[in-house]
Structure 1
Amino acid sequence: MSTFVNIARFQYSSEAQIVKGKLQSEGIEVFLADQVLIDTDPLVSQAIGGVKLNVYADDEERARAILSEIDNYSLNDEGNRVVCPNCESSRVKVYTHIKDVRSFFAFLFSFLTFALPIHYKYDYHCENCEEKFSLNQPDAGRKLGKE
């Protein structure tokens, strides 16, 4: 009997479905855990560890190789890679946060009404130099998408 191996976790099931489709197109059988629970209430995603993408242990190496080919770094509104203004690396990921009053009240409203959050603030974090920046910064806008 084959065993399952967890190879990735995603905050939302839509992200997991995209990767699942790619792996299935390569002939790898994929199983998603906790997808229905998170689709029912997305606010519990971080509490339960997100949607888990599982494959058979026999397919693990091939599945991880395919995952490493998928570029999961951030793109700007024009579809170009976001480049760090400090080190010019394209290993940049986007993160949402609650830092101002408007974001806090939007989160509170969403939490109390079981609705999806309607207002986000975004920060970009460089995995190379750990710089945190926003696309609204003058330096960041000048260096976008040149790779």
Structure 2
Amino acid sequence: MKDFQCLAIFTYPFEYFVLKLKLEDASLRHYFQNETLVGLLPLSSVAFGGIRLMVHPSDLQKAKQIIDSLNDKSSPLRIV
């Protein structure tokens, strides 16, 4: 897991829920660092550096495409 790269940082779990489902559907190797910790102590998210989306380098390009598609203004599933 040390080779994984940080692709995005979120403050709260609701901000990336749809993205998480899309990444799992595409079978991309990823994990959300600090996800459980922030879930237990939500007001301390900033102190922990937020929730980091960590993606395997070989899946990085596809993950970026998924994020870009969700950030498109015409997408009904925009990332907060």
Superposition TM-score tier, normalisation by shorter sequence? 0.7 to 0.9
1:5·1:57 contact (CA, 8 Å) conserved in 2? Answer: yes
Q: Give the equivalent residue in structure 1 for 2:47.
A: 47
- Give the 5 Å matches for 1:58-97: 58-71=58-71
Gapped regions of structure 2 (runs ≥ 5): none
Q: For the structure 1 residues 58 and 2, does the alpha-carbon distance in structure 2 shift closer, same or farther, using more than 3 Å as the test?
A: farther
Q: Residue type of the partner of 1:20?
A: K
Distance 1:2 1:47, change over 3 A: closer
Distance apart, 1:72 and its partner CA: 6.9
- After TM superposition, list the pairs within 5 Å mapping 1:1-147 onto structure 2: 3-71=3-71
Aligned-partner Cα distance in 2 for 1:62–1:45? 27
Shift of 1:65: 1.2
| Higher RCO, 1 vs 2 (CA within 8 Å, ≥6 residues apart) | 2
Per-residue Cα deviation, 1:18-72 (whole angstroms, up to 9, x for no partner): 2111111122122111011101111111122211111101111111111111037
The two structures have a TM-score, normalised by structure 1, of 0.45
Give secondary structure in 1 for the equivalent of 2:52: strand
Letter in 1 for 2:71: D
* Percent of paired sites with the same residue: 29
What is the total number of aligned residue pairs between the two structures? 75
Equivalents in 1 of 2:32, 2:8: separation in Å?
A: 10
Secondary structure of the residue aligned to 1:46 is coil
Give 2:64's aligned amino acid: R
Q: Distance in 1 between matches of 2:65 and 2:72?
A: 14
Moved over 2 A (4+): 14-18
**Normalization by structure 2: what TM-score?**
0.77
Distance 1:50 1:72, change over 3 A: farther
Q: Secondary structure at the match of 2:15?
A: helix
In 2, Cα distance between the equivalents of 1:5 and 1:17? 19
Deviation at 1:17, TM superposition (A): 3.1
